[in-house]
Amino acid sequence: MRVMTWNVWWRFGGNWRERAAGIRTTLETYQPDVVGLVETWAADGTTQADVLAKQLGLHAAFAPTSLPPEPDPVEEPGQLGAVVGLGLLSRWPILRTEVRELPHPQRPGPPPTALISTLDHPRGNLYVIVTCREWEPHYAEDRAVQTVALAELVTDPAFDGPLPVLLIGDLNAPPDEPELAPLRAVTVDTWEAGGGDPGATTLDSLLPYAPLEATTLIDRRIDHVLVRPGRPDTAVTVRGAFIAGDRPINGLYPSDHYAIGADLDP
């Protein structure tokens, strides 16, 4: 089972239409079974996840979220009416979805969310959580309580079964961030388990549209594929881990993040 997560940079940058081809090409190249999309869009009666699913022969789900907030005013006409969200692409049918609100005692406005999907895997229900966590340092309390909420969510006994539970997305935190400890304590970091380079980054300052203002996150691995065994007496085997989307396609990098992925024995 190949699992990926990718922050695809919504309709930011003024070049989202041109970048779409690179996103599609990258996913066609890596052929993942499950993909979590962060900063994906819904607009004009469809979603980016649905568009990609149709192109790639996959199933799709989408849920709105508040991280990051849509720009006000819009930066270019293509953003008008577009919603920021979380997406899922799946090789297997999506039986049901649920949107879980994450706590945000500090940041005003709508809540950030987690998209929980139940996939019809041949060996049973496969539970996948796609999410994005607060990133701004002055919302430190939000960052902490969201981590605890996600740790509780991924360990929910309702998800127990023959398959691992996946929590994937942009957690806006490198693996050694102390606030991330509650979540790391109950999951396996597939990058580490798969022998990934400890110095790898998914938010690279060398990218032409890198968010250099994110000084605590730049040049760090802040996107994650985390898993926990479906049962206490089972283990998760990680065959390898990889970075994708780290090369320009048709002269453009597909996003301001690189994708990250792992190959698992389910």
We report the CATH number of the domain holding residue 74 as 3.60.10.10
State which residues form the domain around 141: 2-265
pLDDT of amino acid 93: 98
Q: Digits of tens for pLDDT over the chain (266 positions)?
A: 999 999 999 999 999 999 999 999 999 999 999 999 999 999 999 999 999 999 999 999 999 999 999 999 999 999 999 999 999 999 999 999 999 999 999 999 999 999 999 999 999 999 999 999 999 999 999 999 999 999 999 999 999 999 999 999 999 999 999 999 999 999 999 999 999 999 999 999 999 999 999 999 999 999 999 999 999 889 999 999 999 999 999 999 999 999 999 999 97
Burial 17-37 (b: 16+ CB within 10 A, else e): eebbebbbebbeeeebbbbbb
pLDDT of amino acid 207: 94
Domain count of the chain?
A: 1
57 in helix, strand or coil? coil
205, exposed or middle or buried, with CB in 10 Å at 0-12, 13-18, 19+?
exposed
Q: Is the pTM of this model over 0.85?
A: yes
pLDDT of amino acid 232: 87
190 in helix, strand or coil? helix
